[in-house]
Amino acid sequence: MSNLNTEMVEKYRNNFLQEVTANVEEGEWVKMCMQCGVCSGSCPLGPYWDHPPQELFMMIRAGKREEVLTSSSMWMCTSCYNCVARCPRGLPITHIMHGLAHYADRLGIAPKGQQTRKFANLFWDNLTKTGRVNELRLGISLYFMNGFAAGVKKALSMAGMGMGMMKTKRLSPMEYFGGHSIKDKKGLQAILKKAKEIELAKEQKF
């Protein structure tokens, strides 16, 4: 168990709702859920998940910490906002889903082989380096995220499309080494550092 996870188990013993309220983005909204099930009924993907949103919120209130935080469900949310548009209580469900996923990741207990989790982390690392997504680097890292052999196989299967994109100047191999970036990269790093500090301070308050 990671240090942070152990610390949080101790700190919020028997009160998972309070833990979510304090540490998950928009988590303070979970207590407003009236369990009507509209979000789960509106979610195009919910029926294929272990736990659609309404069920996750019920489990949070029931103190099912491990089942919620190790679930792959919130990692599958595509941010379509169907649930948010229909929730009669106005819960920011999409943000809570991503907040739960991020929190589980920080605690080190998110499901390891989860593909969208891997993608989310690769995307974040790619984006925060320069403030702009380097599509070529991101594409290559996605091909190889499940190992070298799988990456080569995937790259070969997409070679035709890649060549076509290069011919039409939609893709340049040189982008790998440079690509677009924002002017103030140091400023971006300072903002991210400050955001982390605020998050930590919020944690220590509860």
Binding site for ligand SF4 (CB under 6 A): 33-39, 42-43, 45-46, 53-54, 57, 77-83, 87-89, 91, 93-94, 97
Least distance CB 25 / ligand SF4 (angstroms): 14
Distance between CA atoms of residues 25 and 100, nearest Å: 8
Least distance CB 203 / ligand SF4 (angstroms): 25
CB-nearer residue toward ligand SF4: 51 or 65 = 51
Least distance CB 128 / ligand SF4 (angstroms): 23
Least distance CB 105 / ligand SF4 (angstroms): 17
C-beta separation of 94 from 81 below 8 A: yes
C-beta separation of 97 from 120 below 8 A: no
C-beta separation of 120 from 75 below 8 A: yes
Least distance CB 199 / ligand SF4 (angstroms): 23
Structure tokens that stand for 154 in this block:
């995937």
- What does DSSP assign to residue 15? -
CB-nearer residue toward ligand SF4: 62 or 200 = 62
Q: Which residue in this structure is represented by tokens 């949070």?
A: 60
Structure tokens that stand for 82 in this block:
């169907």
Of 100, 24, 102, 22, the C-alpha closest to 55 is: 100
CB-nearer residue toward ligand SF4: 44 or 187 = 44
Least distance CB 206 / ligand SF4 (angstroms): 23
CB-nearer residue toward ligand SF4: 43 or 109 = 43
Distance between CA atoms of residues 43 and 6, nearest Å: 33
Of 104, 144, 137, 106, the C-alpha closest to 123 is: 137
CB-nearer residue toward ligand SF4: 61 or 185 = 61
CB-nearer residue toward ligand SF4: 5 or 115 = 115
Residues whose CB is less than 8 angstroms from the CB of residue 7 and which lie 6 or more positions away in sequence, other chains included: none
